[in-house]
Structure 1
Amino acid sequence: MSIAVVTAADGAAWEAVLLADPGLRAADVIDIVRRCVDVVELLAVAASGQAMAALVDARLRRLDSDAVDRLLAAGVAVVGVAGGEADSELLREAGVGFSVMAGSDASVFAEVIAGAVRDLAGDEPGGRSFGDPAFATGSVLPPVDPQRPGLIQPFIPAENFSAGIGAGVTASPSSPVAGLPARPAGSPANGAFATEPAVIAVWGPTGAPGRSTVAVTLADELARLGMSSLLIDADVYGGVVATMFGLLDDSPGLVAACRQAQAHRLDSTALASLCWQLPGELRVLTGIARADRWPEIRPTALTEVLDVARDLAAFTIVDLGFALETDEELSFDTLAPRRNGATLATLDAADLVLVVGSADPVGTQRLVRGLAELRAAEVNAPVWIALNRVRRGSVPGNPGTELDTALRRFTGHSAAALLPYDLTGLDQAAVAGKTLGEAAPTSPLRRAVTELATALSGVPAPSRGRRRR
């Protein structure tokens, strides 16, 4: 049975030459069923199930990583046609693995397309996959798909933390975090991420437990420790980071970065130009102030933004929304855009997930359920729990002891940080449009977040002189 193939060449000469090649029908391997004029038609044909493979020109307009992902999700193998090394680079940037030179014979086209289809189906045992150097023969261009090694290092033992940092406990099989990765363990001299750039996703369940407050304060304290820090507002339900800093919420920010990433024009210099440079080592990439703009933050583009961010800053702190649902396929019979796709993509790309929960009975219940949702999302990064708004009166007895006991009982984990509730300091920071380090340097919340930043970076906090009586 021949392979049904659709082409999208945007008027390139190789398409007509290929169709006129007598070897195409003689090989009886592929069958060109349709010629598409643009990416929109190509995606529509792929969604209809008419094709098994797509032959696309390297310079096809709007061919980006998002389009390639949608083709692969529809079960259509993608093969690019390049006219030279520059074209092959465009294909690699778009995520197209298989490519062939424009002047190749029909037999070469048929061989590459068949290999791409077998590779997508997962039944290419020992064949000429494009990671094989032997595949780079004749007119076939080998793809480049570098694998970035993991950055996770061991977690710092509890005895090296100050009060409020607990030790991990093995989770029971029924625990909501039983399927979540263990927290890293290491030495306080190095910190959890002392040598490699890291992406830290700040997530929390519904109910406004203080995700943005923790993300902003953590990014600021890392910068005050001398570590270059980039704060990204990726909350698709309406970010508030710009407001907290007193910045313009209509600046290009993350939306512009995603557009440049989709056009393969984003690098560390371009990303830095889109950020607000604040005093010290802190940069801020603002998000969307209106929730209806969520389609502009594509998951594949955001993943590329995070990759570029590693070259710009030692720590990238990403403020995320609360929702993790993936119910679009229940509402649409076609491939629908995912509102929570940006959140899930960030969690997949993160080196550590900092889960923020509110330290009260309702907040703790939501935190336990949220950890179960996080496990269902198959997050691979280690998970640290930060209990926010810790105060007397919210729970009976000593709040730190009671909350830690509750977490151990229902999740099998202790809190990595207990953050006290400092309403006065937060009000001062909100009124001034500043961080806690600027508006309330002696805030107990700020001190607790500084300890957390020290645990992540391994950089000791500056000593504070004793006050005179």
Structure 2
Amino acid sequence: MSAPLGVIVAVRGEAEAAVVAEVDAHPRLTVVRRCADLAEAVAVARAGLGAVVVLSAQPHLDADAVAAIRAAGAGIVGVGGGPGSRLEALGIAVARSALAEAVLAAVSGPAPEFVAPPERGTAAMVAVWGSGGAPGRTTVAVNLAAEAALAGHRTILVDLDTYGASVATALGLADEAPGIAAAARAAARGEDAGALLDRHALEVAPRLRVLTGLTRAARWPEVTAPGLERLWPALRAAADVVVLDLAAPADAGASPQGPGPRRDGATLAGLAEADVVIAVGGAEPHQLVRLVHVLLDHDGPTPVVAVNRIRAAVAGPRPEDAIAAALGRHAGVTEVWPLPWDLRACDAAARDGRTLAEAAPRSPLRRAIASMAEVVVAAARAARDAPATVTD
């Protein structure tokens, strides 16, 4: 006879005794740990001491905790939640009766998916990414989103830079606006993602709304991949175009990653979800070297390459041609979007917290970003509408 399956119990209140008694009464199950809180249950699951976690709704239960338990190879069964409860919103099967059978099913059956909002939407999603060293990623993201809105698209700009969020500053918004931290945190708890966007996305111009970034970089654990996974459908349903301002690539060797959330998790999630990725680099020689490294290390589809602050002083008398040739030779890039050096226009926009279209509508940089926005948004919409490729 095989050994009984180990069950970890993390149930709050008086219901715990009844849950333990019912599990222990079944010949194929045994309670291996009665946990004082959710954190202990996650730790015990990670230690491989149980096959299933039985839990009730509790303050710190969110998508991250659910993902951690499932990543440890344990099944999850909820108790005490009614139809449409927070447990079900997080994709946890709730045992209405016959708890022991539900526990056995959690071991043998597939894990349920998170409950997604009913309307997914088809918005095109563009991720603005690129090299480190401040090449102008936020400038491109802000003005790309502004140009998409001016072209008639309902647009949402999301600041997902977990190292140095600056969209709010660029647009003259209050730093204390809750933004992405509040939305992702609440989505991870299973709240209605569409309602979260209505509450937290700030309207800054006709057809342009913004989810501001982290008020302090130390708050990066609040913006996790499981929370973002619940926000993507709502973002696509709430707009025609979504622009993500992402952090530069993290140095994988700088800090070992444990089993918890990753600081670059938001960047990785955004790159994976986007229909088109724009890789932004600076025109200075050291910035081009960084951009080459980013492009060579990138595993996803080929990004659109935009080189910012192009000028003859750093790249010679024909800077566009010289930069395109260098990127083609070292990174295999066949097309480069040149964004000219336009210090006066950028200073005017930064001083007043406005977009280039507002502060310097005739500036060369504004015209270059507007042209790029038209092409990139069309490409993102085409990629979003293309049928998925089926492989054997």
TM-score, normalised by the number of residues in structure 2: 0.86
Give the letter for the 1:259 counterpart. R
**Distance 1:346-1:40 versus aligned 2 partners, 3 A rule:** same
Question: Does residue 104 of structure 1 match 2:95?
Answer: no
CA drift at 1:22: 7.4
8 Å contact 1:253–1:286 — kept in the other structure? yes
Structure 1 residue 44, shift from structure 2 partner: 2.2
Number of the residue aligned with 1:2: 4
Task: Write the letter of the residue equivalent to 2:363.
Answer: S
Superposed, which structure 2 residues align to 1:133-148 within 5 Å?
Answer: none
- CA shift for structure 1 position 100: 5.1
- Which residue, 60, 74, 77 being the options, matches 2:75? 77
> SS where residue 213 of structure 1 aligns?
helix
1:235-384 equivalences under 5 Å are: 235-326=161-252, 330=256, 335-375=259-299, 379=300, 382-384=302-304
1:430 aligned to which of 347, 350, 366: 350
1:93 corresponds to 2:92: no
Cα distance between partner residues in 2 of 1:339 and 1:22: 41
Q: CA–CA distance in 1 between the matches of 2:284 and 2:23?
A: 72
Which residue matches 1:405?
A: 325
Larger-Rg structure: 1
Contact 1:233 1:239 in 2 (8 A): yes
What residue in structure 2 maps to residue 199 of structure 1?
A: 125
Shift of 1:304: 2.2
Structure 2 CA distance, aligned partners of 1:79 and 1:236? Answer: 33
* Cα deviation 1:98-121 (Å, max 9, x = unaligned): x25332163x235303314xxxxx
Call closer, same or farther: CA 1:21–1:54 in 2, change over 3 Å: closer
Which residue of 89, 96, 107 maps to 1:114?
107
Contact 1:429 1:435 in 2 (8 A): yes
Counterpart of 1:221? 147
Match of 1:54, SS state, is strand
CA distance in 1, matches of 2:58, 2:91: 14
Shift of residue 20, structure 1, vs aligned partner: 4.0
Residues 9/407 of structure 1: CA separation in 2 closer, same or farther (3 Å cut): same
Normalised by the length of structure 1, the TM-score is 0.73
Q: Give the direction of change, closer, same or farther, for the CA distance of 1:336–1:406 in structure 2 (3 Å limit).
A: same
The one-character-per-residue Cα deviations of 1:392-415 (angstroms, maximum 9, x if unpaired) are 232234222222222222222223
Which residue is 2:38 aligned to?
Answer: 39
Instruction: Tell me, yes or no, if the aligned pair for 2:276 and 2:376 is still in contact at 8 Å.
Output: no
1:211 is displaced (CA, Å) by 0.3
1:75 is displaced (CA, Å) by 2.8
The amino acid that maps onto 1:74 is A
Tell me by how many angstroms 1:318 deviates.
Answer: 1.2
Provide closer, same or farther for how the CA distance between residues 372 and 79 of structure 1 changes in structure 2, counting only shifts above 3 A: farther
The separation in 2 between residues aligned to 1:303 and 1:202, in whole angstroms, is 18
Sort the Cα spacing of 1:199 and 1:21 in 2 relative to 1 into closer, same or farther, 3 A: closer
| Root mean square deviation, CA, Å | 2.8
| Residues 438-459 of structure 1: CA deviation (Å, up to 9, x unaligned) | 1101011111111111113349
Unaligned runs of 5+ in 1: 117-128, 131-141, 152-194, 460-469
Task: Give 1:143 shift.
Answer: 6.0
Whole-angstrom distance in 2 between the partners of 1:329 and 1:6: 32
Name which of structure 1's ranges 1-10 and 363-372 shifts more when overlaid on structure 2. 1-10
Residues 201-210 or 346-355, more deviating: 346-355
The amino acid of 1:95's aligned partner reads G
